[in-house]
Amino acid sequence: MAALQLKTVLAGLLLAALTACSSVAPKYTLVPDNINRLRDSGMESTRLGEFSAAPGNPSDVNKLSIRGGAYLSPYEGSYVNYLKEALRMELDEARLLNPNANVELSGFVLRNELNAAGFSISDAQIEARFVVKRDGQVRFDKVLSAKYEWESHFVGAIAIPRAQQNYPMVVQKLLSALWADKDFISAVKK
């Protein structure tokens, strides 16, 4: 009887150690190096067009979880909006956002994953197709991706907050890749 009770307690503890309640991702934080790179790029003012999940994508890019607990986007529950807001924030900070611009940046989120089950390493991966149009003509159409890894832990009380706080880094990496892409810069240059 005592062994059964202990096993029940253990199962409860394991569950508490490994799983989470639902949580909300931190809002995007701009990357200073990205802003200076944009301001030095000679890029023309740009407006943001449509962003959406890639049509026909079997995985729901707007749904993430961390050890069983839902991990929600702070932007109307949408990770597509998370990416769009990140782009808006960095372009605006670089004084390059103009709703009336001739250059338009739009895109599709192809993949958005957070793998926090690992006891030693966890990671987030994102992939998006970015399209630049100038006066309605496509000037850039490319798929870019980013992966970010961090040290994880067996105990959920440590691993879950780490995962919650590290997801934005993968979006920062994706934006860094976009702003550094030579074809992108050529397409948006004045």
144-162 exposure pattern, b = at least 16 Cβ within 10 A, e = fewer: bebebebebbeebeebbee
Q: Output the smallest distance, CB 188 to other proteins, in A.
A: 20
Q: Which is nearer to other proteins, 78 or 127 (CB)?
A: 78
Closer CB to other proteins, 133 or 152, in the complex: 152
Name the nearest CA neighbour of 141 among 133, 152, 149: 133
Least spacing, CB of residue 135 vs other proteins, in Å:
29
Residue 139 CB, nearest approach to other proteins (Å): 28
Give 87 or 132: the residue with its C-beta nearer to other proteins: 87
Cα separation, 174 vs 171, whole angstroms: 5
Which lies closer to other proteins via its Cβ, residue 35 or residue 64?
A: 35
CA distance linking residue 2 with residue 167, whole number of Å? 42
Instruction: Closer to other proteins by CB, 28 or 108: give it.
Output: 28
Minimal distance, residue 172 CB to other proteins, in Å: 10
**Closest separation in Å from C-beta 127 to other proteins:** 24
Q: CA-to-CA distance for 116 and 153, rounded, in angstroms?
A: 9
Residues that bind other proteins (CB under 8 A): 3, 6-7, 9-10, 13-14, 16-17, 21-24, 26-27, 29-33, 35-36, 39, 89, 93, 154-155, 157-158, 161-162, 164-165
Helices (H), the chain: 2-18, 32-40, 79-93, 156-180, 182-188
- Rounded CA gap, 130 and 138, in Å? 11
User: Which amino acid is it at 22?
Assistant: S
